[in-house]
Amino acid sequence: MLPSIIFESNNTLFSINSDKVVSIIYLPKVTQVPTSNLKIRGIVNFRDEIFTVIDFRKLISRTSVSEELQNFILMLEEREKDHLYWLQTLENSVIENKPFTLTTDPHKCKFGIWYDNFKTSNMAIRKILKQFDQPHKNIHDLAFKIEKCKSENQLGKCKDIIERSRNKEFKLLVSLFAKLKQNASLVFQESALLMNLNSKKIALVVDKIISVENIESIDTSNLENNSLISFKKNFITGIGQSKDKKLVQTVSELMLV
């Protein structure tokens, strides 16, 4: 028996028989076609063969990757606005001679919390993210410099420091947010399993391929009530276990045609 292909979708592991899979590729550009079937995204051409693109997330009624991408971009826009508001609030604290009350810790603002916890394997995105580190820290450190010169009653100096930061660190931060948004699709780069199913050529779109291996069967007597199964049971033929002891839901090929 051929090994199974383990893939991830919406942070859940699934597997499918590899005997019908002819190739595994990163999803190329999809050509839209008229259809009322929401699970069909369009078609792709691979080595002069046309494959119908089926979105696995749509099959299991989950948020599509395109929606996640848009939400990701919106989140970045909000975090950029947060820091522009932060600078304006700091400037107002000088003009109005009042305490600055927003966070001065770069690890505790909303962006800092996200930044410290976000993980990606894409090297281009990691390179962009690394460039955020120092200017972001410098921006939050600005609050301490301003409080010091405020305490010395050097308001003109405070304004000069803020203006220099606006034209340096903040300008750089805005450009980095723009670069990250432009390349955000790399965070959600999908894979496709190209398959021949009952004379139909299918490109099953998944988040990413995890491995190709034999799945160890486990007891499925409680499958109906298993918390892993959050969609129609007929999509699943069983639950197995990968080599690293992670639970994997086995997908029925019949759901694709």
Give me the CATH number covering residue 23. 2.40.50.180
Q: What is the pTM of this model?
A: 0.79
Torsion of CA 117, 188, 17, 256, to 10 degrees: 130
Task: Give yes or no: residues 69 and 56 share one domain.
Answer: no
Query: What value does the CA radius of gyration of the chain take, rounded to a whole number of Å?
Result: 25
Q: Measured between alpha carbons, how far is 124 from 55 in angstroms, rounded to an integer? A: 25
Give the list of residues 6+ apart from residue 214 with CB closer than 8 angstroms, or none.
1, 3, 4
Number of structural domains, the chain? Answer: 2
Residue-level pLDDT at 208: 92
Q: Which of 136, 163, 186 is the last residue of a domain?
A: 186
Q: Measured between alpha carbons, how far is 182 from 101 in angstroms, rounded to an integer? A: 33
Residue range(s) defining the domain that contains residue 215:
4-62+190-256
Q: Which CATH number is 142's domain given?
A: 1.20.120.30
Residue-level pLDDT at 132: 98
Residue-level pLDDT at 241: 85
Task: Give yes or no: residues 114 and 157 share one domain.
Answer: yes
Residue-level pLDDT at 64: 86
pLDDT in tens, the chain (257 residues): 688 999 999 888 999 988 889 999 999 989 988 887 878 899 999 999 999 999 999 888 888 898 999 999 999 999 999 999 999 999 999 999 899 999 999 999 999 999 999 999 899 999 999 999 999 999 999 999 999 999 888 889 999 999 999 999 999 999 999 999 999 999 999 999 999 988 899 999 999 999 999 888 776 565 555 545 544 556 777 788 888 888 898 888 777 76
Asked if 13 and 245 count as a contact pair (C-beta separation under 8 A), the reply is: no
Task: Give yes or no: residues 175 and 104 share one domain.
Answer: yes
| Phi/psi at 209 (5° precision) | -90, 130
